[in-house]
Amino acid sequence: MEIFADLLARLGGRFAGELGLDLKAGPVPRQKWFLAAILYGARISGALAARTYRVFAARDLYTPEAILAQGWDRLVALLDEGGYARYDFKTATKLLRVMASLKENYQGDLERLHGAAADFDDLEARLRALAPGLGPTTANIFLRELRGIWPKAEPPLSPLVQRAAEALGLLPPGLTPREALPALQQKWRAQPVAGFEFADLEAALVRRGLERRRRPPQASGA
């Protein structure tokens, strides 16, 4: 579909790619993306989340050991440096709990977590069980970009993606998220865009959905 090419040309693909992360390259970029996904999961702008991630990346802080070694006060300072001040206390606590749990239960290795999961539902449950506050939004952000890379990373479309696809006429209204995913995938398989994957389309639709959310309502009669 020409609309797919237009969306991807204008809005771009995976958020991980914007951060310079090739998720196919192995466990290290995927661990870095996990940190970024936690930051993207708060109700702040994507630009602030990306900037905060780069504060951590500049110091090579992404492994459970490195983050735990910072301690709460230092994490708060790093989050503030990235502009994350509104959620700094809560996010510092969450990062410490998530990384401690990942280290305790999976030797600090997300690949082990994926390998231990029986299917997508189990994978999502294991991620969310790492710490309170790691909810469905963060899990979806993390896993949708691993679609096609981790075999069990098959999350349903997020509500934001589904609404954006409906507004563009790519999906009919009324589908469940699990019905909407194969319907959109079928359209993508029929006319893929060279150099991109379905996960890139999802990311473009997230950006499209955020654009619609920010757009002021039209005056009556417009």
The string of pLDDT tens digits covering residues 39-90 is 999 888 889 999 999 999 999 999 999 999 999 999 999 999 999 988 889 9
Nearest to 145 by CA among 125, 161, 165, 166: 161
Locate the domains of the chain by residue range: 2-14+157-214, 19-144
Nearest to 130 by CA among 151, 106, 150, 154: 106
Q: In which residue are the tokens 């280290």 written?
A: 103
- Both tokens assigned to 208: 């499209």
**CA distance linking residue 111 with residue 26, whole number of Å:** 9
Which CATH entry fits the domain spanning 19-144: 1.10.150.120, 3.90.1150.10, 3.40.50.10320, 1.10.340.30? Answer: 1.10.340.30
Q: Is the pLDDT of residue 216 over 80?
A: no
**What percentage of the chain has pLDDT greater than the value 90?**
88
- Both tokens assigned to 172: 């009919």
Nearest to 115 by CA among 183, 180, 30: 30
Phi, psi of 147 (to 5 degrees): -60, 130
